[in-house]
Chain A
Amino acid sequence: MTRERLYCFDQTGEGRTASLSFFIRARIENKSSLFYNRHVTSPPPAFELSSTEKAQLDGLRRGDEAVFKQLVAAYHPAMVRIAQMFVDDRGIAEEVAQEAWLGFLRGLERFEGRSSIKTWLFTIVANLAKTRGKRAKRSLPFSFFENYDRDTDEPAVSAERFRGADDAYPLHWASAPAAWKSDPVRQALGGELKTYLEAAVAALPEQQRMVLTLRDIQGWSADEVCNALGIAETNQRVLLHRARSKVRRALEEYLT
């Protein structure tokens, strides 16, 4: 599977919307690991389930409720969050995550452990949410695999905030960041600021939102994000940088 093939679907917004789920589904059907798919042309290395995950799978297949509860507690909240990357409505995201568990259970017999349970679950939920999201906001062009270089000129801070190039202090702050009135970290745990932050994240362009959500909200490592989304490390960092810069700006507006 190559990127070229993905671009065949890129003629219309609809085609683009299809491409990620097509991509992921194709990978699942090929039973290839979702890991390392940033090297799209080379075969993925063999993936081995940990002994814990093997035991969990055995437990589930035996119908062990305790194992199921454990997995739900570990992954369901994150699955709701992943669904929210594609659907606006929190209730729908919850529904989609629950539906994903049904898909997971139905696929359990066939699951060969070529990816971790977590990746398998997150892939199912992303696919389902993608489909639901498409219905909810049909106009949204999904373009995750498009070249991010298209908008290279996206400064972290608007140029007006800096002095001119021929100033005595060239390109230093003209309007330096003001101190924040309160500590957002303490405030973010509840209330108005949390809602505000959520809105700032929701307003990000899709690629940036996905990377920021997985990295900074879900706490994934850069490697995990690159592997799950099939993007290169530098691309991941650029998307994260743009997203974080925008959220900082949003906080600045709120807190100064």
Chain B
Amino acid sequence: MSDELTCKELVELVTSYLENALSAEERARVEAHLATCDGCDRYVEQMRQTIESLGALRETDLSPEAQTKLLAAFRHWRGSQQNA
């Protein structure tokens, strides 16, 4: 059996590939396969899109309500520190 990857093997290596966790030799095998396989090439691209979409779920917004409550809690805590 040649050392050519099958598609079934490739889909299990995608994460290691994207994480740069493959040896130089394994990486070369993956890239050789991707160069000639449209299905896998698309698969890898879809994994990249998946990761990027997940990044869009990240919340960086702090609601004004939460901020107000937390500030009030901080002031309360500060007051109790000073009284202690």
Tell me which residues across on chain B come within 8 A of A172, comparing CB atoms: 6-8, 37, 39
Chain B contacts with A in 30-84, Cβ cutoff 8 A? 37-40, 42-43, 46-47, 49-63, 66-67, 69-71, 73-75, 77-78, 81-82
Q: Is there contact, CB below 8 Å, between A162 and B54?
A: no
Query: How many residues of B are counted as interface, with CB atoms below 8 angstroms from the partner's CB atoms?
Result: 46
| Interface presence of A106 (CB below 8 A) | yes
Partner of A69, one of B49, B63, B67: B67
Listed in ascending order, the chain B residues whose CB lies under 8 Å from chain A are 6-9, 11-12, 14-16, 19, 21, 37-40, 42-43, 46-47, 49-63, 66-67, 69-71, 73-75, 77-78, 81-82
Could you list 25 A-B pairs, sorted by A, with CB under 8 Å?
A: A63-B78, A65-B71, A65-B74, A69-B71, A72-B62, A73-B62, A76-B70, A77-B61, A101-B70, A102-B77, A156-B11, A157-B11, A162-B8, A171-B9, A172-B6, A177-B39, A184-B50, A184-B53, A198-B57, A237-B16, A245-B15, A247-B50, A248-B46, A251-B46, A251-B50
**Which interface class (under 10, 10 to 19, 20 to 34, 35 or more) fits A?**
35 or more
Q: Is there contact, CB below 8 Å, between A159 and B66?
A: no
Tell me which residues across on chain A come within 8 A of B67, comparing CB atoms: 69, 72-73
Q: Is there contact, CB below 8 Å, between B11 and A184?
A: no
Q: Is there contact, CB below 8 Å, between A218 and B58?
A: yes
Q: Is there contact, CB below 8 Å, between B46 and A72?
A: no
Separation of A106 and B52 alpha carbons in the complex (Å): 38
Known A94-B66, A172-B6: A197·B53 in contact at CB below 8 Å = yes
Q: Is there contact, CB below 8 Å, between B77 and A170?
A: no
**Lowest 9 A-B CB distances belong to which pairs?**
A176-B39, A171-B6, A241-B15, A188-B56, A216-B54, A173-B39, A188-B53, A63-B78, A171-B8
